């Protein structure tokens, strides 16, 4: 159902330091359309609508013979408001123009004043000017206003710019000076400003790189870098509603894309889940505390990318990859949060390094937790056992963590088994945070506790592996989990559809 969601609403958008302006959002299953209001010609042929390039020369008296209005300081486009009679270069009043001087296209009018004896203008007339240009309503005007009441008018009537001719105002333009074109009708309409493809797009409520959350606002960034701008909503409820809707469509598109990609991968290399997160920088500077990263759970590994992998070759160019059963996933509670960012989780690597990530919504946090559980379970089920070299009482040993048998310790030279215990016999453990683990096993016959201390060169990898095997054992006791994995394994792709942005599926909790 989320995949088919369509949604429309009118809100505010702000780009850079500009004033907010009205936009309309339309959400379809695979694209977010941002529209702005403009005046367009709906009948008749608009005059001088196409762009043209003209070259003008400086006159001895009167310069280039152009009067110019507008500019960034007035927050309106630069337009040519008056042409002298001597200037016959084909430029018409109230045309937007782009200035070319020696191949440069600066927006400053000052460049025109300081230009040489010859300049080239690219001009477009009226049709491509914004909605603030509207023809005045006067008796001799040939541009007929629309008789509809819903936001229609003739092109220059309600702008606040009074352009009717007055003898004492040589900078204004009379309506009769416009070229005649009968039966023209102009209307205010919503026109496309930006199209954001949702596949692999990311959402952000935070100011770039910071933990400062915008109030009732967010932006959408497409995979090619096109940004929606900051969309502002009147209430927190509206903002959350749109966030969930867009996030749901992105998630649905991702799942659909993953299914197609997995057709080309063997069963042990299937993608479980992937999506955008924000990673907290280890050595962050003040203006860049977080950076967007793309995480993917595929086969036996967690991959971290700076951009979504598109080709098979992209998978070999990940920033980092980690073995799933040798890392630890943890959702950060309120007391564990590092700053103002919410919806955070950590991943502790096999070296003991902690990586911190944040997502936009609580439902995304649940999806990542479920994805890690699923991916880890499938990998443990596939490998069945893992062996690590260790030292016990100054002798080189090997410890095998076996999904069926439990813990098996053997002599590295002779391969003779020294002891073995089931998972149920492990009653406790402790480590020194460096290399040593002390296991407390219960003897099945005597019921006494037997301590075994082993030393490893890769302590955290061993601890995480043991936790992963225990978690998989506990998961096997959960009927709902076993049923979902049985169905997923048959298809070769574990489904995460049980968790959506609106679901309240209980989370599995493991204890060792």
Per-residue model confidence as pLDDT tens digits over 403-423: 999 999 999 999 999 999 999
Q: 338-346 long-range contacts, Cβ below 8 Å, gap at least 24?
A: 338/280, 339/211, 339/289, 340/211, 340/212, 340/213, 341/206, 341/211, 341/213, 341/278, 341/280, 341/290, 345/369
Average pLDDT, the chain: 77
Decide which of 15 and 21 is more confident. Answer: 21
Count of CA atoms in the C-beta half-sphere (13 A) of 424 = 4
Decide which of 104 and 366 is more confident. Answer: 366
Instruction: Identify the top-confidence range among 130-139, 146-155, 333-342.
Output: 333-342
44: its two tokens: 């008749």
Domains of the chain: 7-38+192-246 (2.30.29.30), 52-128 (2.30.42), 264-383 (2.30.29.30), 385-460 (2.30.29.30)
Mean pLDDT along residues 448-466: 96
303: exposed, middle or buried (Cβ count in 10 Å: 0-12, 13-18, 19+): buried
Cα distance between residue 127 and residue 468, in whole Å: 64
Query: What is the pLDDT at residue 69?
Result: 66
Share of the chain above pLDDT 90, in %: 51
């Amino acid at each position: 159902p989320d995949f088919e969601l369509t949604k429309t609403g009118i809100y505010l958008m702000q780009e850079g330091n500009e004033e907010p302006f009205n936009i309309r959002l339309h959400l379809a299953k695979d694209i977010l359309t941002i529209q702005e209001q403009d005046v367009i010609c709906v009948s008749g042929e608009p005059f001088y609508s196409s762009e043209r390039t003209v070259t003008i020369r400086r006159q001895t008296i009167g310069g280039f013979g152009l009067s110019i209005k507008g500019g960034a300081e007035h927050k309106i486009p630069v337009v040519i408001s008056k042409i002298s009679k001597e200037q016959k270069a084909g430029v018409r009043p109230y045309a937007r123009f782009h200035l070319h001087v020696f191949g440069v296209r600066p927006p400053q009018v000052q460049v025109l004043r300081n230009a040489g004896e010859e300049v080239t203008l690219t001009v477009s007339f009226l049709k491509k000017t914004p909605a603030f240009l509207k023809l005045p309503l006067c008796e001799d005007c040939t541009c007929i206003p629309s008789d509809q009441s819903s936001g229609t008018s003739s092109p220059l009537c309600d702008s606040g710019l009074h352009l009717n001719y007055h003898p004492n105002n040589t900078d204004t333009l009379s309506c009769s000076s416009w070229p005649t074109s009968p039966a023209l009708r102009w209307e205010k309409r919503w026109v496309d400003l930006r199209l954001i493809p949702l596949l692999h797009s990311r959402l952000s409520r935070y100011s770039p790189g910071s933990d400062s959350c915008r109030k009732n606002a967010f932006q959408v960034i497409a995979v090619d870098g096109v940004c929606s701008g900051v969309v502002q909503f009147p209430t927190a409820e509206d903002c959350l509603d749109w966030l969930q809707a867009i996030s749901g469509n992105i998630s649905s598109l991702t799942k659909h894309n993953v299914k197609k990609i997995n057709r080309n991968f063997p069963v042990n290399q299937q993608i479980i889940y992937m999506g955008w997160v924000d990673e907290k920088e280890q050595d962050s500077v003040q203006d860049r505390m977080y950076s967007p990263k793309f995480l993917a759970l595929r086969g036996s590994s967690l991959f971290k990318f700076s951009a979504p992998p598109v080709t098979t070759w992209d998978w070999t160019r990940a920033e980092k990859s980690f073995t799933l059963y040798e890392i630890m996933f943890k959702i950060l509670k309120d007391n564990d949060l590092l700053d103002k960012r919410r919806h955070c989780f950590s991943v502790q690597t096999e070296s003991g390094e902690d990586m911190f990530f944040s997502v936009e919504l609580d439902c995304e946090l649940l999806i990542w937790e479920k994805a890690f559980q699923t991916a880890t379970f499938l990998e443990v089920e596939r490998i069945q056992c893992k062996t690590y070299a260790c030292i016990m009482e100054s002798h080189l040993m090997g410890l095998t963590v076996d999904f069926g048998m439990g813990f098996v310790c053997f002599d590295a030279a002779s391969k003779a088994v020294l002891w073995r215990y089931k998972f149920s016999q492990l009653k406790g453990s402790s480590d020194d945070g460096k290399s040593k683990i002390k296991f407390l096993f219960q003897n099945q016959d005597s019921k006494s506790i037997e301590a075994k201390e082993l030393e490893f060169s890769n302590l955290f990898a061993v601890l995480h592996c043991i936790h992963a095997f225990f978690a998989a054992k506990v998961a096997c006791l959960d009927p709902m989990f076993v049923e979902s994995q049985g169905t997923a394994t048959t298809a070769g792709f574990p489904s995460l559809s049980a968790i959506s942005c609106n679901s309240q599926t209980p989370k599995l909790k493991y204890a060792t």
